[in-house]
Amino acid sequence: MFKKILIANRGEIALRVVRAAREMGIASVAVHSTADSDAMHVRMADESICIGPPSGTLSYLSIPSIVSACEISGAEAIHPGYGFLSENARFVEILEEMNIAFIGPSAEHIRLMGDKITAKDTMKALGVPCVPGSDGGVPDLESAQRLGAEMGYPVIVKATAGGGGRGMKVAMSAADMENAFHTARSESKAAFGNDEVYIEKYLTTPRHIEIQIFGDGRGQAVHLGERDCSLQRRHQKVLEEAPGPAITASERARIGKICADAMAKLGYSGAGTVEFLYENGEFYFIEMNTRLQVEHPVTEAVMGVDLVREQIRVAAGMKMSFRQEDLVPRGHAIEVRINAEKLPDFAPSPGTISHYHAPGGLGVRMDSALYDGYKIPPNYDSLIGKLIVHGRDRPEALARLDRALGELIVDGVHTTVPLFHALLQEPDIQAGDYNIHWLEQWLASHTVAE
Ligand code: ADP
């Protein structure tokens, strides 16, 4: 097992990894920008190294700085968290050359899934059901129009290099295609430096259901059930739950096995998420994330596992500590993402936390790097905490979420907490009856007061 690992990330996820490492008797090295000198992950890690100025590009995304920090500290492995370098195949190749272990999959698998067209082709060949769409990239508007007519509208034009909901445009009818095609292309070029796009059938009322998988890199793989992440704003997840309210045990077993078998054939190593749209009882693959997800704690709660611990073990060459038959969901878990944002427009609200009190009690987990007096820098993502509750069933989890949100105090900045108080009053949310458009539609007709 490793003696020391470096965490190439910040905020709650860096803290999450420090905690897993400490329980395993592994020393942790935090890296930080000058804006994060007083951050909680820096305080909690065993060592810390400053790697650059506030700009993410010059610090958390700077491969030379992170590799140097690793060399200086003598860390044997790097955990990338999510975002930043977590899905950067070149970074993983450089680590391989330097003989530093990457706590995640191989560069080859990251590259394979990072290109969405290759990912779809690969998954299709492995027997995973995909959204009907173009065979590969669509080179020009004429081809896009021909495909639209063949497939039938609505369709969605998506960036091959896409991520974070960018470079995606819906064409409801043939008249929209020209605009959708050109906009998706130029957005994609601007965001990813690559203007290749592809086309999929646009599903009108799907849920976003994702399967957590885990592989040992030597041909063994399991699935850890699904998460329903349909509550989204601008294609960004807001609330996640497990098990999915619409998914039956037999559907879970069926799609879970398809994913686990695919990962076993690939020889995939570590944690990964296979994302699907789910409509009328059918699953349609959209993409795979080759890393730990923000919402992994709901799976940890219902499965009773520590996914970060497992990632570290497998990266160190150990066997997985669970078998498929051990992985049966128990109860129900819900996560809400608490952002430093001002409602109703979700405008970023950085600033100083004058008072922070985390909720507690049975079945409550608060993953956050906040503390009294902490100054949230304006340079990064606005996620400041994740509140995860676990109950024996969904009604108990909902009641617990309501209770825990009531205990939470975050003073000094605006947060998205009032949104969750309001959502909990909604009969559709109480019934688990929502799809990927529900939240946008609800927001269009409701103003959430602070
Ligand atoms: P990204 O990598 O940018 O997050 P995804 O392919 O994962 O992009 O899609 C993000 C979200 O966009 C999905 O959760 C869903 O809400 C919507 N979406 C993507 N593809 C489709 C589709 N074919 N039909 C309907 N909605 C889609």
Q: Choose the catalytic residue: 207, 291, 313, 337.
A: 291
Ligand 1 geometric centre to CA of 56 (Å): 26
pLDDT tens per residue, range 77-119: 999 999 999 999 999 999 999 999 999 999 999 999 999 999 9
**Nearest-CA residue for atom 2 of ligand 1:** 163
Backbone angles phi, psi at 64, to 5 degrees: -60, -40
**pLDDT at residue 164 in the model:** 79
pLDDT tens per residue, range 384-401: 999 999 999 999 999 999
Ligand 1 geometric centre to CA of 189 (Å): 18
Does position 288 have pLDDT exceeding 90, yes or no?
Answer: yes
**pLDDT at residue 316 in the model:** 98
Paired residues of 233 in beta bridges: 236
Ligand 1 geometric centre to CA of 206 (Å): 10
Task: Give the pTM.
Answer: 0.96
Structural contact between residues 427 and 340, judged by C-beta atoms closer than 8 angstroms? no
Q: Which domains does the chain have, with CATH numbers?
A: 4-100 (3.40.50.20), 132-201 (3.30.1490.20), 207-445 (3.30.470.20)
**pLDDT at residue 193 in the model:** 87
Atom of ligand 1 nearest to the CA of 237: 14
429 Cβ below 6 A of ligand 1:
no
287 Cβ below 6 A of ligand 1:
yes
**pLDDT at residue 344 in the model:** 93
Ligand 1 geometric centre to CA of 445 (Å): 23
235 Cβ below 6 A of ligand 1:
yes
**pLDDT at residue 381 in the model:** 94
**pLDDT at residue 352 in the model:** 98
Query: How many angstroms separate the Cα of 380 from the Cα of each of 55, 64, 263, 303?
Result: 8, 20, 33, 31
The residue to mutate among 87, 207, 210, 235, having the most atoms of ligand 1 within 8 angstroms of its beta carbon, is 235
pLDDT tens per residue, range 243-286: 999 999 999 999 999 999 999 999 999 999 999 999 999 999 99
Active-site residue, 291 included = yes
pLDDT tens per residue, range 140-195: 999 999 999 999 999 999 999 888 778 899 999 999 999 999 999 999 998 888 99
